């Protein structure tokens, strides 16, 4: 019996040991993988002279390439051809397409060419009052003869459905797509619909004609049809799964292009490109293989969208796309057998929240450092049960165990504790270097200066702003009490109308907190109770002037703490209200020059209102909200690499993309000031129609701010002096308790007591 | 016994039952929220939860029946999120391995402490109790370093092994093993039974109530582990079901309700099943005596 | 003498043999991390240099630590006796109700199985300013109150602790009751003892070891109420429910490992004294 017992125990122990060794082994085996070589390298190709918006990129029947460019101002077209995708020569159209001959009805012209040179011209006329489109079609054959076609898509009369895209198959068969992305095969001679490819009842997200296939992507399927016979090709689960995974929830990219683009190879295999990269699926193959990792190229940039992709004869790829929704780009991907497949260096970047800007910066960095892979880790995705606290705890454990990320984006993190505990490297030199080359807004970069050194530096920031009548902005925006006096007085003049735009208690608190909180901190680091009380009092006065409308508020889910930081850029929303006449004064946070354009455009739109804009300040201090606060973990083993990433984040180039976020980098501001904003050098960014209070539509054009306005923005930003309080342990109780006070659920004294109790608890720890 | 006395006894019995049921109902009341809530559509949930989650005045008034019952929330969890099943199996694997491990390690451990004398036994046992006292956040970093050294981080073992060697079950079962009368064991020894035989026959049988309560309680605990997997598992494909539930916002409330119930069901089944065994264990123990 | 010695050695050998696997694992996965925490309590937060008892002095003079200690003691003092008495009452009654009692017992376990995120949502629904409870109160024309932001928060916490742990203790009590032989009761009944008498004379003394186990476990479970508490009320809840766990959590967030370790060691010292005391009082069988 005793021997048995020993055996039994020994068995258990042995089992445990085996398990432990096994799991240990598998780990080390993984680490010793041999470096695989070969990667597609990205190269940007200069567009041929005179080329503007790239309307099309295709392979002609003779195997050469054709690029169709459109000047968005004059709506005139140019075509170029090339053998290798590098050198482009201008070509002549078979007829003069820009003469107006194709626009007999005076509409806008859209051109598509078939691989063998036929032209389908779509003339779009807009009804002045309803803005509904009606199309006319002119078809030019290879011999140059022009035929007018009438194409009638279902739903044209009933719901205003129209054709919005023209496609040609490899053999020159003509297809069109409508507003629902339904694909129609068209008889070139008569304009009759020869065949309809719909999603089988499901909504179509993307439709395409590739080689001799028609491809429709719906929410659950990738449907393929033979373009000649119209027969459905057997559905392919491997392809479907990968395509749907790559597309995720999105159907459109930043510039409104389809999120995915297909092309074919010689053997009937299919390539597709998206922000994930480029994938290949052999016809009937069992895998859908990623051949270009988007993360390592500019494909992953959130502001880039693919418009067209083709594979060249040498196996490389040419991708045309839109950066920022405005600027066309031509990228070439060439296989380089000498570059490791996966970059040999990895830099870990950690951020609690996902930010589009960060991905932009990473894409930029990776393009310039092909040997480095940036591994971005997001702490709180909102898709699982992980709270901010959980994420921070895990991050701290990693950092203390020496396995932390190299670079930290510290929005929402206890920055001061990290600095005190020596968790961060001094990056003064990096900042100095940029300051020398680009110039930096010192008050912003120095927001977290400790003992004369910089450990955490905000790359971007927000400023509290006000737009309203000149008197209010110049004389009353300096502190909250004055503002409240003024707004109450204006309200008394006209009790029926809101002075401030409608906002919830939480929204108002949030906007004013950023303007005022810099004044709360006392010399010893504690928070002034009087200042908190005064803040609540004035906010409450302002809140009482707002006519609340419960029915509309219920739609709005307010949850301050889960809000992503990029939705803090709120000013534009309130400016819209000024334009529609919903209110007289707009206050909010300005985070990007794009939204500054809204502010100045409103001025221009309503000259009678005499609108002015300025900083909104709670008191003596001119405050700003630091954002994208970057720092380097002092435990990093790649100090240099981390520093160069920080340089990219703080650098000038990142401020000139996307919405032109307000950068601490001065050169970025200047570049945005000088550069044309629209394609082909226009300064108009777009317009929108907003329905006003009384139900009429107000058209609101948004233009790039004038030189003077840009100048006054710069001087406003240069006048900033202190960061607002950005510590969740202080912000959260103010928001939560303040909301209860504003909504009349607790007295001012109770509110102040509760807030101070929580803040002091925090400061006492 | 007089009739009057009898009637009194009955009345007393009914009152006790009523009280027990009332308490039971109160305890289970929240389940009712989950069930009703999981059958509600998005619009109705918004209306019901609105006062709390979006602060638009009024009070929460939870109806007894959904106005328009729908199974969409369940479809959403079961059909549209394949990760639910991955996480479910991770939970099953983790919990199963932990309980099996505890059975193999802690039962003999508790038996050793309860039935044998050896030097420093008292000190050692007090140390075991002490080790239960540390809240997880306190030992988290140190635990992480140890697991990192052994190379277990980012494997399920990082969650399983520390739990297997938790001193909780030893502490619970110890009490039951100590309670077994010495006489029974001595007589068995005199009959020539070996130590292991005594443990297997008398320990396991007579200690069954203790072992099973430790297992049932352990199951509930490990089925809902949050901090450990979160800290020790970077690879999200290893995460257990307890991390599936998003932080509940108004938009996801329906899904969250449905997912909660789906998480709850296996736990319910297991401890309802566990109860049967527990009962049998107690009976067996009683019969022996 | 010789026989006794060999018996003793054999006993030692068998005992160690049974606890060895447990001891090895405990040492690696629990004792080593624990000792590391003790070491950290004498060292700087990040520098790890020896700082003597400095951390202990910092912690003991820290007002947040004192508040948290006070609250934790108050919390334990209120809810543990309450939970123990309630669960014992339920267990004793359920025990006597036959199979239906056994089934009803499972009901009390349900709260333990509900995932934390849902528990939090439920608490919010009930105790929010606009919650169910205030809805009922206002329906009855009783003054409503802000449960989570006043001293009432403490009682909400007590309630949620009892709600969650009632089943845990009931299970342990019933298991404990199951070990008391029915023969003893029979004998006493023959002697003409009443139900109450039986409970006092037989049940209570026999349950003393269980009482010891259950008290200790209830105490430990009082730490686990934290996740819900913090999900409902945040890192800085009302003064009355700011527990040591909140403080540890916040210290960890701010990387104050030194303070956290010292605070935790102090806590274990106090708790172990308490446990030893309980053991002296109720756990006589242990030796």
Q: What is the pLDDT of residues A151-172, one digit of tens each?
A: 888 887 777 788 888 888 888 8
Count of beta carbons in the 10 Å neighbourhood of residue A20: 16
Together in a domain, A452 and A571: no
Query: Quick one: pLDDT at residue A455?
Result: 94
The full set of domains in chain B, from first to last, is: 3-70 (no CATH), 82-288 (1.10.3720.10)
**Cβ–Cβ pairs < 8 A, chains A and B:** 97
Strand segments (E) across A413-494: 457-469
Q: Which of B56, B145, B196 sits opposite A554 (nearest CB)?
A: B56
Residue A644, pLDDT > 60, answer yes
Q: Which of C46, C146, C149 sits opposite A422 (nearest CB)?
A: C46
Please give the average per-residue pLDDT across B158-177, as a whole number: 89
CATH of the domain at A408: 3.40.190.10
Q: Note down the domain range covering A695.
A: 460-628+664-726
Query: Quick one: pLDDT at residue B277?
Result: 62
Residue A243, pLDDT > 70, answer yes
A665 strand-pairing partners: A440
| Residues in B touching C118 (Cβ below 8 Å) | 30, 34, 245, 248, 256-257, 260
Q: Is A22 an interface residue toward B (CB < 8 Å)? A: no
SS3 A626: strand
Residue A498 lies in a domain: yes
Residue A26, pLDDT > 70, answer no
| Residues in C touching B179 (Cβ below 8 Å) | 179, 209, 285
Q: Which of A6, A421, A764 sits opposite C64 (nearest CB)?
A: A764
pLDDT in tens, A36-93: 788 888 888 888 877 778 888 888 888 888 988 888 777 788 889 888 888 888 888 8
Count of beta carbons in the 10 Å neighbourhood of residue A58: 18
Residue A166 lies in a domain: no
> Cβ separation of C236 and A9 shorter than 8 Å?
no
Residue A467 lies in a domain: yes
Together in a domain, A377 and A417: yes
Residue A563, pLDDT > 50, answer no
Of A598, A620, A650, the last residue of a domain is: A650
| Residues in C touching B24 (Cβ below 8 Å) | 104, 107-108
| Residues in B touching A503 (Cβ below 8 Å) | none
Please report all neighbours of C, defined by 3+ CB atom pairs within 8 A.
A, B
pLDDT in tens, B54-65: 655 677 777 777
> Cβ separation of B271 and C106 shorter than 8 Å?
yes
Of A618, A650, A682, the last residue of a domain is: A650
ipTM for this model = 0.81
Together in a domain, A548 and A412: no
Please give the average per-residue pLDDT across A382-389, as a whole number: 75
Task: Write b or e for each residue in A492-529: b if 16 or more Cβ atoms lie within 10 A of its Cβ, otherwise e.
Answer: eeeeeebbbbbbbbbbbbbbbbbbbbbbbbeeeeebeb
Residue A229 lies in a domain: no
SS3 A424: strand
Count of beta carbons in the 10 Å neighbourhood of residue A639: 14
> Cβ separation of A4 and B243 shorter than 8 Å?
no
pTM: 0.78
Residue C109, pLDDT > 90, answer no
| C residues 25-44 closer than 8 Å to A (CB) | 25
Please give the average per-residue pLDDT across C225-231, as a whole number: 76
Mean pLDDT of chain A: 82
DSSP state of A286: S
Residue B140, pLDDT > 80, answer yes
Domain coordinates in residue numbering, chain C: 63-256+274-286
| Residues in A touching B196 (Cβ below 8 Å) | 1-2, 4-5, 8
Please give the average per-residue pLDDT across C230-241, as a whole number: 80
Query: Quick one: pLDDT at residue A88?
Result: 86
Task: Write b or e for each residue in A225-247: b if 16 or more Cβ atoms lie within 10 A of its Cβ, otherwise e.
Answer: bebeeeeeeeebeebbebbbebb
**What tokens were used for A457?**
């530096």
Between CA A219 and CA A228, with CA A223 as vertex, the angle to 5 degrees is: 150
Cβ burial, residue A678 (10 Å; 0-12/13-18/19+): middle
State the smallest CA–CA distance between residue C66 and chain B in angstroms.
Answer: 18
Please report all neighbours of B, defined by 3+ CB atom pairs within 8 A.
A, C
A112 strand-pairing partners: A120
State the smallest CA–CA distance between residue A47 and chain B in angstroms.
Answer: 43
> Cβ separation of B141 and A553 shorter than 8 Å?
no
> Cβ separation of C220 and B133 shorter than 8 Å?
yes
How is A161-215 classified by DSSP, letter by letter? --EEEEEE-TT--EEEEETT--EEEE-TTT--EEEEE--TTSPEEEEEEETTEEE
* Structure-derived torsion over alpha carbons of residues A106, A110, A114, A116, reported in degrees to the nearest 10: 60
Together in a domain, A469 and A415: no
CATH architecture of C63-256+274-286: Orthogonal Bundle (1.10)
Count of beta carbons in the 10 Å neighbourhood of residue C60: 14
> Cβ separation of B196 and A382 shorter than 8 Å?
no
> Cβ separation of C255 and A385 shorter than 8 Å?
no
Together in a domain, A492 and A587: yes
Which segment of A211-220, A662-671, C99-108, C206-215 scores lowest on mean pLDDT? C99-108
Query: Quick one: pLDDT at residue B288?
Result: 43
Residue A183 lies in a domain: no
Of A692, A711, A726, the last residue of a domain is: A726
**What is the separation of C-alpha A97 from the centre of its chain, rounded to a whole number of angstroms?**
36
Query: Quick one: pLDDT at residue A129?
Result: 66
CA gap A106, C85 in Å, rounded: 89
| Residues in B touching C287 (Cβ below 8 Å) | 122
**What tokens were used for A447?**
């927001």
Strand segments (E) across chain C: none
CA gap A713, A696 in Å, rounded: 32
> Cβ separation of B150 and A24 shorter than 8 Å?
yes
Please give the average per-residue pLDDT across A1-22, as a whole number: 42
Tell me the C-alpha to C-alpha distance, in Å, between residue A68 and each of A144, A265, A287, B99. Answer: 18, 22, 34, 67
Instruction: Indicate the number of domains in chain A.
Output: 2
| Residues in A touching B192 (Cβ below 8 Å) | none
Please give the average per-residue pLDDT across A198-225, as a whole number: 84
Q: Is C69 an interface residue toward A (CB < 8 Å)? A: no
> Cβ separation of A397 and B54 shorter than 8 Å?
no
| Residues in A touching B226 (Cβ below 8 Å) | 385, 390
Q: Which of B143, B245, B253 sits opposite C115 (nearest CB)?
A: B245
CA gap A566, A356 in Å, rounded: 8
Percent of chain A whose pLDDT exceeds 90: 11
Residue A117 lies in a domain: no
Q: Which of A1, A24, A562 sits opposite B249 (nearest CB)?
A: A562
Which contiguous run of DSSP H or E holds residue A357? helix A356-368
Please give the average per-residue pLDDT across A433-447, as a whole number: 91
| Residues in B touching C40 (Cβ below 8 Å) | 142
């Amino acid at each position: 019996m005793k021997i048995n017992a020993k055996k039994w125990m020994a068995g258990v122990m042995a089992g445990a040991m085996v398990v432990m060794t096994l799991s240990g082994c598998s780990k080390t085996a993984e680490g010793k993988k041999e470096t695989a070589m070969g990667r597609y390298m990205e190269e940007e190709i200069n567009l041929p002279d005179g080329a503007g918006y790239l309307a099309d990129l295709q392979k002609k029947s003779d195997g050469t390439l054709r690029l169709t460019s459109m000047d968005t101002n004059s709506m005139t077209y140019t075509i170029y051809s090339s053998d290798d995708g590098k050198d482009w020569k201008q070509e002549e159209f078979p007829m003069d397409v820009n003469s107006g001959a194709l626009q007999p009805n005076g509409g806008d012209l859209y051109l598509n060419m078939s691989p063998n040179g036929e032209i389908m011209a779509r003339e779009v006329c807009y009804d002045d009052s309803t803005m509904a489109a009606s199309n006319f079609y002119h078809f030019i054959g290879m011999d140059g003869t022009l035929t007018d076609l009438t194409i009638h898509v279902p739903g044209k009369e009933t719901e205003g459905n129209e054709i919005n895209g023209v496609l040609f198959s490899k053999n020159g068969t003509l297809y069109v797509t409508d507003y629902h992305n339904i694909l129609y095969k068209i008889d070139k001679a008569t304009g009759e619909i020869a065949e309809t490819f719909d999603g089988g009842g499901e909504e179509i997200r993307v439709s395409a004609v590739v080689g001799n296939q028609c491809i429709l992507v719906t929410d659950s399927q990738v449907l393929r049809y033979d373009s000649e016979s119209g027969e459905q090709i057997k559905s392919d689960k491997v392809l479907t799964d990968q395509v749907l995974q790559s597309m995720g929830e999105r159907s459109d990219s930043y510039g409104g292009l389809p999120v995915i683009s297909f092309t074919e190879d010689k053997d009937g295999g299919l390539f597709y490109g998206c922000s994930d990269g480029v994938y290949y699926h052999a016809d009937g193959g069992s895998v859908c293989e990623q051949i270009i990792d988007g993360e390592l190229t500019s494909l992953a940039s959130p502001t880039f969208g693919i418009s067209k992709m083709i594979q060249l004869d040498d196996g490389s790829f040419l991708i045309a796309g839109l950066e920022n929704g405005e600027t066309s780009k031509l990228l070439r991907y060439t296989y380089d057998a000498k570059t490791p497949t996966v970059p040999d260096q990895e830099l870990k970047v950690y951020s609690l929240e996902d930010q589009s800007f960060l991905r932009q910066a990473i894409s930029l960095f990776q393009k310039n450092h092909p040997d480095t892979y940036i591994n971005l880790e997001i702490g709180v995705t909102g898709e699982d049960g992980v709270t901010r606290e959980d994420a921070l705890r895990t991050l701290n454990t990693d950092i203390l165990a020496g396995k932390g990320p190299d670079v930290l984006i510290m929005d929402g993190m206890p920055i001061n504790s990290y600095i005190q505990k020596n968790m961060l490297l001094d990056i003064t030199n990096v900042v100095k270097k940029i300051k020398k080359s680009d110039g930096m807004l010192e008050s912003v970069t120095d927001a977290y200066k400790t003992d004369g050194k910089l450990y955490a530096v905000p790359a971007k920031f927000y400023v509290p702003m006000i737009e309203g009548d000149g008197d209010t902005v110049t004389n009353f925006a300096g502190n909250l009490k004055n503002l409240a006096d003024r707004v109450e007085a204006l309200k008394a003049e006209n009790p029926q109308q809101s002075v401030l735009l409608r906002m919830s208690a939480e929204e108002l608190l949030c906007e004013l907190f950023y303007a005022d909180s810099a004044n709360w901190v006392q010399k010893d680091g504690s928070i002034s109770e009087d200042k908190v009380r005064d803040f609540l009092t004035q906010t409450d006065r302002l809140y009482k002037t707002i006519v609340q409308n419960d029915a509309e508020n219920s739609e709005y889910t307010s949850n301050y703490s889960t809000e992503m930081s990029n939705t803090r850029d709120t000013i534009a929303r309130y400016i819209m209200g000024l334009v529609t006449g919903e209110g007289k004064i707009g206050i909010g946070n300005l985070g990007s020059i794009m939204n500054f354009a809204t502010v100045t455009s409103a001025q221009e739109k309503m000259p009678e209102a005499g609108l002015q804009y300025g900083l909104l300040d709670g008191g003596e201090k001119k405050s700003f909200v630091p954002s994208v606060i970057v720092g380097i973990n002092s435990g990093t083993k790649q100090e240099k690499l981390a520093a160069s990433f920080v340089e990219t984040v703080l650098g000038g180039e990142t401020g000139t993309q996307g919405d032109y976020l307000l950068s601490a980098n001065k050169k970025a501001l200047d570049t945005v000031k000088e550069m044309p904003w629209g394609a082909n050098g226009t300064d108009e960014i777009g317009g929108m129609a907003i329905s006003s209070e009384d139900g009429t539509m107000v058209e609101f054009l948004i233009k790039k701010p004038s030189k003077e306005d840009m100048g006054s923005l710069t001087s406003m930003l240069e006048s900033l002096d202190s960061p607002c309080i950005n510590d969740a342990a202080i912000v959260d109780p103010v928001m939560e308790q303040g909301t209860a006070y504003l909504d009349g659920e607790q007295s001012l004294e109770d509110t102040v007591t509760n807030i101070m109790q929580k803040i002091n608890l925090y400061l006492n720890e | 016994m007089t009739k009057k006395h009898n009637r009194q006894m009955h009345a007393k019995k009914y009152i006790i039952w009523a009280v027990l049921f009332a308490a039971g109902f109160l305890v289970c009341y929240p389940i009712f929220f989950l069930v009703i809530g999981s059958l509600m559509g998005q619009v109705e949930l918004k209306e019901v939860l609105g006062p709390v989650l979006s602060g638009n005045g009024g009070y929460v008034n939870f109806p007894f029946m959904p106005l328009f019952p729908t199974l969409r929330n369940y479809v959403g969890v079961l059909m549209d999120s394949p990760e639910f099943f991955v996480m479910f199996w991770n939970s099953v694997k983790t919990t199963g391995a932990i309980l099996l491990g505890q059975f193999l390690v802690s039962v003999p451990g508790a038996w050793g402490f309860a039935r044998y004398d050896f030097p420093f036994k008292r000190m050692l046992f007090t140390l075991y109790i002490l080790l239960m006292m540390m809240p997880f956040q306190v030992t988290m970093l140190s635990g992480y370093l140890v697991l990192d050294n052994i190379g277990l981080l980012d494997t399920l073992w990082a969650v399983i092994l520390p739990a297997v060697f938790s001193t909780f079950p030893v502490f619970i079962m110890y009490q039951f093993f100590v309670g077994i009368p010495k006489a029974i064991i001595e007589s068995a020894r005199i009959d020539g039974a070996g130590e292991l035989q005594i443990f297997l026959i008398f320990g396991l049988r007579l200690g069954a109530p203790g072992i099973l309560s430790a297992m049932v309680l352990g199951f509930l605990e490990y089925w809902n582990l949050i901090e450990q997997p979160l800290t020790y598992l970077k690879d999200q494909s290893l995460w257990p079901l307890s991390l599936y539930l998003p932080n509940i916002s108004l938009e996801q409330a329906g899904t969250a309700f449905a997912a909660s119930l789906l998480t709850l069901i296996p736990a319910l089944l297991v401890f309802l099943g566990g109860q049967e065994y527990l009962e049998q264990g107690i009976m067996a123990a009683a019969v022996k005596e | 003498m010789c026989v006794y010695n060999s018996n003793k050695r054999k006993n030692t050998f068998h005992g160690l043999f049974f606890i060895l696997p447990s001891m090895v694992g405990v040492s690696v996965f629990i004792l080593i991390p624990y000792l590391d925490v003790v070491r950290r309590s004498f060292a700087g937060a990040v520098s790890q240099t020896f700082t003597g008892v400095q951390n202990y002095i910092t912690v003991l003079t820290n007002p947040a630590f004192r508040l948290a200690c006070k609250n934790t003691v108050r919390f334990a003092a209120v809810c543990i006796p309450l939970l123990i008495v309630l669960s014992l009452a339920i267990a004793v009654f359920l025990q006597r109700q036959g199979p239906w009692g056994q089934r009803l017992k499972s009901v009390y376990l349900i709260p333990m199985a509900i995932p934390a995120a849902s528990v939090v949502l439920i608490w919010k629904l009930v105790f929010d300013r606009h919650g169910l409870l205030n809805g009922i109160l206002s329906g009855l024309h009783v003054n409503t109150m802000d449960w989570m932001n006043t001293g009432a928060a403490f009682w909400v916490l007590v309630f949620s602790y009892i709600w969650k742990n009632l089943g845990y203790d009931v299970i342990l009590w019933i298991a404990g009751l199951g070990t008391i032989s029915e023969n003893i009761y029979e004998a006493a009944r023959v002697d003409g003892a009443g139900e109450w008498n039986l409970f006092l004379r037989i049940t209570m003394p026999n349950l003393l070891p269980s009482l010891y186990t259950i008290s200790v476990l209830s105490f430990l479970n009082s730490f686990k109420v934290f996740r819900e508490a913090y999900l409902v009320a945040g890192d800085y809840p009302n003064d009355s429910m700011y527990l040591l766990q909140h403080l540890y959590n916040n210290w960890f967030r701010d990387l104050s490992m030194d303070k956290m370790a010292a605070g935790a060691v102090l806590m274990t010292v106090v708790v172990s004294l308490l446990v030893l005391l309980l053991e002296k009082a109720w756990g006589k069988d242990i030796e």
